[in-house]
Amino acid sequence: MANSTADSSFSTYGFENELSGYKAINGAAIFSAIMGVVSLLMFVDTNFFFIPLLAIVFGVLALRRIKRFPDVYTGLKMAQAGIGLAVIFSLVAFSIGFAYQFTINSDAKSYANSLAEVLKTRRPEELLFLKVPESQRGELTPDKLIAQRLEGGNEGKMSVETDLKPLKQIVADREAPGATVAFDQIELAGYDKLTPFAFLRYSITGGSAAPHEHKEGEAHDHKEGEAHEHKEGDGHDHKEGDGHDHKEGDGHDHDAPVASVTSGEPKYLMIQIKGEKHKGKNAWYIAEIVYPYKKGTATPKVEAVDDGHGHAH
């Protein structure tokens, strides 16, 4: 009987001793460790910054809880690992992102400056040609591009006219007396998934005042080759052969836009460019042209790429 009591007492003491030595793994420490590993997503997109932030916050909470109740909780190393992984992955991801951003800004600015010279001299058809990615140009030329798109009938013709309209206006404004075309700045640059893009802003400013309007009874002397605008009833009688009778095929583009820039406020042009890997380097092409453009309204949008035959991919 005595032995039975002793055995029971010993058994109870051992069980209670085991319970007193048990420590629960803190839940915040477990969550911090998991979020620390998941912080790898920062290398995919830095918009996942909230994940390492959660790892750090819950890791700190776990450390405090464990230090306050050391006999109840364990998981110190898990919390420290979660915080450490979150900090390391975040710093490396942001450093890589900064380097990529610096590179794309530098590359886009170089292209923007060279494009400014193109905008000053090239025909609308040549500007439109720059919307074809370099890898798809091959033996294609601006004139061949227009011809191929016109093969689409009325739909192709309307598409070409729509694309050329802002380009013709750009040419008309840049050729106004004293007009200047200049690159202003990169409004926005980044990556659309793995495709680099940038929004380039240009200004076109006229160097002369708007054309002088003659009123009835006003004295004026027109010289040879001088441009002037006559209105109905202004006292001018145009006769055949006086240089004011334009007929079809006379070399005048009657649908050509009129210059709209003045010496006052500049008009802005926005060109969105995208990059592609071609022959081992990044090659830019024009994705969108907006003219006139309101400053600060650039918004990234995914567009189909024209393969030069009027077909979008």
Per-residue tokens: 87? 């900090």
Residue 152's pLDDT band, with cuts at 50, 70 and 90, is confident
Using alpha carbons, select from 188, 233, 197 the residue that is nearest to residue 213: 233
CB atoms within 10 A of CB 222: 11
Q: Show the beta-strand stretches assigned E in the chain.
A: 24-25, 73-74, 180-192, 195-205, 267-278, 281-293
Using alpha carbons, select from 162, 132, 125 the residue that is nearest to residue 311: 132
Report the distance separating Cα 169 and Cα 292, nearest Å: 9
Instruction: Determine the average pLDDT of the residues in 54-74.
Output: 93
DSSP state of 207: S
CB atoms within 10 A of CB 121: 10
Burial 86-116, CB ≥16 within 10 A → b, else e: bbebbeebeeebeeeeeebeebbeebbeebe
- Tell me whether strands 180-192 and 195-205 are parallel, antiparallel or unpaired: antiparallel
Per-residue tokens: 99? 């380097």
What confidence score (pLDDT) does residue 102 get? 92
Rg (CA), the chain: 35
In angstroms, the Cα distances linking 243 to 218, 226, 239, 294 are 21, 11, 8, 39
What confidence score (pLDDT) does residue 30 get? 94
Residue 255's pLDDT band, with cuts at 50, 70 and 90, is low
Least confident of 26-35, 242-251, 281-290: 242-251
pLDDT at 35 over 70: yes
Q: Are 291 and 169 in contact (CB under 8 A)?
A: yes
Q: Show the beta-strand stretches assigned E in 54-105.
A: 73-74
Token pair 């007193």 is found at: 20
- Tell me whether strands 73-74 and 24-25 are parallel, antiparallel or unpaired: parallel
What confidence score (pLDDT) does residue 259 get? 79
Beta-bridged to residue 272, according to DSSP, are 199, 288
Report the distance separating Cα 168 and Cα 311, nearest Å: 23
Predicted structure pTM score: 0.64
Q: How far apart are the first and last CA of the chain?
A: 92
For residue 107, which amino acid is it? D
